[in-house]
Structure 1
Amino acid sequence: MDFTFNIFAFILIFFGTLTLFLSYYLYRKEGEAVRFFGIMMLSNAVWSLAYGFELASSSIEQVMFFIKIEYLGITTLPLNWFLFCLRFSGNDKWYKKPLNMGMLIFVPIATTLLVWTNDYHQLHYKSYFMDLSGDFPMLSLNPGISYRLFTVYFYLLLALGSYLLIVKFRKSDPIYKRQNYSIIIAAMIPWVVNITYLLGFRPLGNLDLTPFAFILTIFMISLGIYRFQLFDILPVAREKVLDLMQDAFVVLDSKKRIIDYNLSFKRYFSMSKHTKVIGIRIQDLLPGQPELMHFLKEGKSGILELKVETEAGRFDLEADIRHLNENQINSDATIIKLLDLTKLRQEALTSTLQKEELQKLNQLKDRIFSIIAHDLRGPLVNLSEILKMISNNLITLEEFKTLSPSLSKDIMYTTDLLENILHWSRSQLKGYGINKELFDLKMLIVNEIDYHQPSANAKKVKIIQDVFPGEMVYADVLMIQIVVRNLLSNAIKFCHEGCTIEINAVHTKDNMIKLCILDNGTGIESEVLKKLFSGENLSTRGTMNEKGTGLGLVVCRDFIERNNGKITVESKKGEGSIFSIFLPIE
């Protein structure tokens, strides 16, 4: 090949080679935006080098050869610029869709093929010839339809990329204004140069100054990379970090207008991503906050609590207000961090309730162990000693018969106590299941009355049941049986001789059956009534000195609640008690 180099060719070849090395260096750096910028520099390097050798060529065949190489860079340069702007502005999801990417690369591929095959169809260049009127030979071109369509594509991608940068920079913090201006000004240079070339303003004849302009653009952005650390403190990275934070941040200017914020701030006002917030006064978003307005007016920094009611709900917020002083970036800016105390207070309340419940359970367990150590051990020791005395002929048969009623009561008490402890302990085990089924409530009541009839007869207590046959209840049969057994046992225990116990069942409006067990016994004192189901009250002996633990009612409440029911009690001292059980029917 024959070359006659000139100053313009030297400039393009020199800076094209420098751009080539810079593109390789940037491509090796981490970060997708940096790599796109490196690829864009590669496209410009190909265009500049090939155009430099074109300007140094004198034959039309050699010029057309380098033009075909130029178009490898010309067609990919606007594409790489647009991809760089998409990534830099945080809109990289768009080009990751195969269809969108396919539409973008179709035009560069098609245009390159049309340039390489132009001699067969003249769609890109209608005609061309060597212009020898200047200081050195240059190609004069008559553009075709393909050339004009590609020009539209070229400007469209340049415009879209510049628009994305401008939109992003409008919302960015003032700390980035120097790097923002450098990129926007750099992006405008090729626009101005290429438009003047297409409009016919050509001070150097047919010399196209666009690749020179792109060289200047790339070096201005490269200056931003190193001087302003453009890719080390990307605004998009900063905004994504802020948006991932749970705490809300908002920045105000001197007129108390919002100039920056994160997504968590919008959450308190039920705003969508596209709701415009920039420029709104903070008092319009948070009305009725005189203390906050006083802090802002006086330029005070500090922490205060706000009660905010918006469409998103009611919030208790902690506002951390910081005014930037003169040694910082902007003395007129105010930063407010909002911490949601609502959830923290709810969690604290839940933790307190759980702590109290745990303390109650621990107290109940301590009490159960105390019962096992004393009340359970005592009757068994007594029985063991009497049996030893009989075995050693230390007491007569008549003496044993005298002791047997007392032993019988102790054994019955011990049996009931063991049952309640075992049932309660089993219910506290993790994974303990409830076998709900439909069963006839009347049959259960009749069986329990038969079970308690001997003890009732001993005190001449009359038990009357008025439950209709076929009253079906949906619950765990064993659990309800234990509940009824405990309540009947207590009713008999606190009845005097000749008292009456009534049992009836009625339907309620909310599809429940209300089972009532009424007695006209001793009744319950009001102070004891308040903590009857908590296990805190001390056991009271019955009318015939029967012992109890108070554990049975704890089991009753637990079992009823596990079956989606509830248990209530009404009582007056000396008039008797009414225990009501509400059970689901389906």
Structure 2
Amino acid sequence: MKQKDLLAQLEHTNDRLWSFDPDLNCTFTNTNMSEDFYHAFGIRLAPGVCVLQNVPEPLRTFWNERYQRALAGEKFGLVEHFEIEGVPEYVEVSFNPVIEDDMVTGVACSSKDISKTKRAEIQLKQSEANLYAQIENTSDSIWSVNRKYEMVTMNSVFQKEFSQAFRCDLKIKDRIISYLPRSLKTVWRGRYDRALSGERFEVVDKFEYDDKARYVEISYNPVQIEGKIVGVTCFTRDITALKTSELELKKAVDTRDKFFSIIAHDLRGPIANIHQLAQVLKLNESEMKKNNEALEMLANSAGSVHKLLENLLNWALSQQGIIELKQQTLNLGDLINEGIAPYRLSAELKNLTVDVDIEADLSVRADKPTATSIIANLFNNATKYTPEKGNIRISASAHGKAIAVKIEDNGVGMSADKVAAILAEQGVESTPGTQAEKGTGLGLTLCKEFVRLNNGKFALKSTEGNGSCFEFTLEKA
């Protein structure tokens, strides 16, 4: 190739080209480099001019070190940043030693303008940094996987929660499926596959943390690049409060419907009995002595209806949150005697021994109507399920700032399943008493609710065939 053709090509490029000898004197430069040198340092670079001419510190030292590395025989490249008007902002510089007879006789340099690419790279990094800051500045879990189920991104929230749930240290590029228990591998893989097929969807998962249920809504979103699905991005939203409220509402509605159906059934019988017995008594007023049995049945039916309606009203008020509690100091012995008074006769008719063992000076802080209702319902329950000549014992003991009240009987007791169902408030149906006394199951529900409203705790121990022990606490006065 002729020299003039070569020079023409060197001038035709957009790159900056120059070379120098071991004394740092320029041996060649194209126009682009000569013009940039002029804009930067006020002198045009040309053969014979020192390549460090007019270059100020600290640039002079930096570039001298680079030139000396190349003159020592090292071939290398670097990216340089300039803030000089008229000169490219970012350039990629290569240093190539010129070797003749195994000796470095000079260095040929080229500089390529990469400003546009570099600025785009910086903007991308800034965008990534902003995105990372956003996904870290949230309480939700965010992560993504590729088609091999390998982790591509994840925020610290997801990493922490995944670690807590599955006892592992998940990292980027790890295959998330590998860390899941066998029972979940198929489920999670199936969800990722749905998203990888192009489907966008949401699911609700339940997790157990420290014996507490947590509900999260997870959205699965396909990631497309140039029309091809390359992965899945997932977002979670904690809906524990919403889900808990939803479940509590459903439970309350189910309980209400169940109670109303029981109440409707149980009211029909006693009211019909009252009506029929009243008719009998009306027709036989002159033979009152023969109607003692009818009178007793009438009294029992009326009492059942009264108690049922009283419990129903109290339960309805508690469900609406409109019971007004008035805390006051109450003598516990007087409170218990008042609570059990309406059912003393029932106990006497069954020849039950009722032992009230309460210290005379023991007092509590409680709302009297609800506290009385607790005692009345538990005592009525004990009389109902204790056979003739059985025993009921009511006692109390102080435990720090609380008074624990126990109502124990040696009645029919309950199975472990029924005890668990009562404590879990699963709407257990009432069973007939030892003399076929009827109930609705509403009394124990009210007791638990009223104990809670009085800031107390409710406990139940029972063995089938060996009686029951109901215990609740009230604040010590």
TM-score range, shorter chain: 0.5 to 0.7
Count of aligned positions: 326
Alignment of 1:521-540 (within 5 A): 521-533=411-423, 534=425, 536-540=427-431
**Residue by residue, what CA displacement relative to the aligned partner does 1:215-249 show, whole Å, maximum 9, x if unpaired?**
xxxxxxxx99xxx999xx99878865774455657
Matched, 1:371 2:262: yes
Q: Secondary structure at the match of 1:531?
A: helix
* Structure 2 counterpart of 1:83: none
Amino acid at match of 1:461: L
**Shift of residue 582 of structure 1?**
2.5
* Structure 2 counterpart of 1:514: 404
Long gaps (5+) in structure 2: 1-78, 89-114, 161-168, 180-190, 196-206, 208-215
Structure with bigger strand share is 2
**Shift of residue 485 of structure 1?**
0.5
* Equivalent pair of 2:263/2:440 in contact (CA under 8 Å): no
- Cα distance 1:288–1:514, how it changes in 2: closer, same or farther (>3 A)? farther
Instruction: Tell me which of 172, 188, 196 is aligned to 2:84.
Output: 188
* Equivalent pair of 1:503/1:515 in contact (CA under 8 Å): yes
* Equivalent pair of 2:258/2:427 in contact (CA under 8 Å): no
Matched, 1:386 2:277: yes
- Cα distance 1:229–1:434, how it changes in 2: closer, same or farther (>3 A)? farther
**Shift of residue 463 of structure 1?**
1.2
- Whole-angstrom distance in 2 between the partners of 1:391 and 1:292: 80
Q: Secondary structure at the match of 1:532?
A: helix
Instruction: Tell me which of 453, 461, 471 is aligned to 1:570.
Output: 461
- Cα distance 1:472–1:269, how it changes in 2: closer, same or farther (>3 A)? same
Amino acid at match of 2:384: K
Q: Secondary structure at the match of 1:367?
A: helix
- Whole-angstrom distance in 1 between the partners of 2:130 and 2:172: 29
* Structure 2 counterpart of 1:108: none
- Cα distance 1:268–1:441, how it changes in 2: closer, same or farther (>3 A)? same
Q: Secondary structure at the match of 2:422?
A: coil
Matched, 1:580 2:471: yes
- Cα distance 1:398–1:288, how it changes in 2: closer, same or farther (>3 A)? farther
**Residue by residue, what CA displacement relative to the aligned partner does 1:402-457 show, whole Å, maximum 9, x if unpaired?**
30001111111111111111111100004544333333222211222434322222
Give the root-mean-square deviation of aligned CA atoms: 5.0
**Shift of residue 357 of structure 1?**
4.0
**Shift of residue 366 of structure 1?**
2.0
- Whole-angstrom distance in 2 between the partners of 1:546 and 1:478: 25
- Cα distance 1:287–1:507, how it changes in 2: closer, same or farther (>3 A)? farther
Matched, 1:479 2:364: no
**Residue by residue, what CA displacement relative to the aligned partner does 1:94-139 show, whole Å, maximum 9, x if unpaired?**
xxxxxxxxxxxxxxxxxxxxxxxxxxxxxxxxxxxxxxxxxxxxxx
**Residue by residue, what CA displacement relative to the aligned partner does 1:131-166 show, whole Å, maximum 9, x if unpaired?**
xxxxxxxxxxxxxxxxxxxxxxxxxxxxxxxxxxxx
* Equivalent pair of 1:535/1:554 in contact (CA under 8 Å): no
- Whole-angstrom distance in 2 between the partners of 1:251 and 1:457: 74
* Structure 2 counterpart of 1:417: 308
Instruction: Tell me which of 134, 148, 171 is aligned to 1:286.
Output: 171
**Shift of residue 479 of structure 1?**
1.5
- Whole-angstrom distance in 2 between the partners of 1:429 and 1:404: 37
Alignment of 1:394-543 (within 5 A): 396-508=287-399, 511-533=401-423, 534=425, 536-543=427-434
Alignment of 1:21-420 (within 5 A): 187-189=83-85, 243-244=133-134, 246=138, 248=142, 265=155, 286=171, 289-290=174-175, 303=192, 339=234, 341=236, 344=238, 347=240, 351=243, 354=245, 356-391=247-282, 396-420=287-311
- Whole-angstrom distance in 1 between the partners of 2:255 and 2:157: 45
- Whole-angstrom distance in 2 between the partners of 1:570 and 1:364: 23
Long gaps (5+) in structure 1: 1-180, 193-222, 271-283, 295-301, 308-315, 329-334
Deviation beyond 6 Å, 4+ runs, structure 1 = 233-239, 249-252, 316-325, 335-338
- Cα distance 1:435–1:339, how it changes in 2: closer, same or farther (>3 A)? farther
* Equivalent pair of 1:318/1:339 in contact (CA under 8 Å): yes
**Residue by residue, what CA displacement relative to the aligned partner does 1:39-77 show, whole Å, maximum 9, x if unpaired?**
xxxxxxxxxxxxxxxxxxxxxxxxxxxxxxxxxxxxxxx
- Whole-angstrom distance in 2 between the partners of 1:549 and 1:395: 37
**Shift of residue 324 of structure 1?**
6.4
- Whole-angstrom distance in 1 between the partners of 2:178 and 2:437: 70
Amino acid at match of 1:442: G
- Cα distance 1:551–1:244, how it changes in 2: closer, same or farther (>3 A)? same
- Cα distance 1:269–1:190, how it changes in 2: closer, same or farther (>3 A)? farther
- Cα distance 1:237–1:473, how it changes in 2: closer, same or farther (>3 A)? same
* Equivalent pair of 1:438/1:473 in contact (CA under 8 Å): yes
- Cα distance 1:319–1:390, how it changes in 2: closer, same or farther (>3 A)? closer
Q: Secondary structure at the match of 2:437?
A: coil
Q: Secondary structure at the match of 2:376?
A: helix
Q: Secondary structure at the match of 1:580?
A: strand
**Residue by residue, what CA displacement relative to the aligned partner does 1:457-479 show, whole Å, maximum 9, x if unpaired?**
22221211111133232332221
- Whole-angstrom distance in 1 between the partners of 2:378 and 2:288: 36
Structure with bigger helix share is 1
Q: Secondary structure at the match of 1:468?
A: coil
Amino acid at match of 1:516: K
* Structure 2 counterpart of 1:129: none
TM-score after normalising by structure 2: 0.54
- Cα distance 1:462–1:249, how it changes in 2: closer, same or farther (>3 A)? closer
- Of all paired residues, the percent bearing the same amino acid is 25
**Shift of residue 550 of structure 1?**
1.4
- Cα distance 1:320–1:495, how it changes in 2: closer, same or farther (>3 A)? closer
- Whole-angstrom distance in 2 between the partners of 1:249 and 1:526: 45
**Shift of residue 359 of structure 1?**
4.0
- Whole-angstrom distance in 2 between the partners of 1:393 and 1:419: 32
**Shift of residue 576 of structure 1?**
1.7
Amino acid at match of 1:347: T
- Cα distance 1:388–1:321, how it changes in 2: closer, same or farther (>3 A)? closer
Amino acid at match of 1:530: A
* Equivalent pair of 2:395/2:405 in contact (CA under 8 Å): yes
* Structure 2 counterpart of 1:142: none
* Equivalent pair of 1:539/1:549 in contact (CA under 8 Å): yes
- Cα distance 1:355–1:498, how it changes in 2: closer, same or farther (>3 A)? same
